[in-house]
Structure 1
Amino acid sequence: AERLIEQHNWKHLVVLSGEAGVTIYSAEEETVHAPCTLDDLRQMIGLIDAAAVAIAVAISKSLSVQNTALLANAACECILGAERTEAFSLSRKDLVDRIGEMTWNLQISKR
């Protein structure tokens, strides 16, 4: 990843790893990893599309690399956890609910 960033003069490189989560490598910042928190992965159709939309929103809102990774990971988890179907479409409510679940799980794990 670092070599690609250097070769192409990119600022960041996003790696979607499904069950392993989302990693963002950066030219000038620390690498950020958001692990997948799901136990039951059901499907992957639309994973890249969901991550791309989440990243576009993060860029438009000037989110940090850390928050971009978390948002992209939440979008990916919505897809990974959806019932296996070609008709699933990620909604704002799905994403907000997933972020809420991730936040709750993080609070519980810190206790």
Structure 2
Amino acid sequence: MIVGNDDLSLPKATVQKIVTEILPPSAGVAFSKEARDLLIECCVEFITLISSEANEISEKEAKKTIACDHITKALEQLGFADYVPAVLEAAAEHKEVQKGREKKANKFANSQIPLEELERMQRE
């Protein structure tokens, strides 16, 4: 399935939030809607480029799943090696968050308390 770039986008509110967090309020700099839309297009293009390269790397390794290692190799091959430490740090943080979520899910699954009882306890 070929998807045109017109079909791909990022949430405008999320991008605006990131930009707002990065720009210091003391700078007095505004970010126009046109600039935000252009930034979104650039981000989509960057993601497409990296994921395409990572896909090629995973295919050469006869893998069916693109892993973090494929992303870091793609970044390096495309001249973005400076991003690798930040990407690895973000991946480690994500892994820790996922562990916490799994523990919470398992806590209730392994509690031996019926779902109805848990719901009743929650209402009280």
Normalising by structure 1, we get a TM-score of 0.36
Which one has a larger percent helix, Structure 1 or Structure 2? 2
Find the structure with the greater CA-based Rg. 2
Which one has a larger percent strand, Structure 1 or Structure 2? 1
Normalising by structure 2, we get a TM-score of 0.33
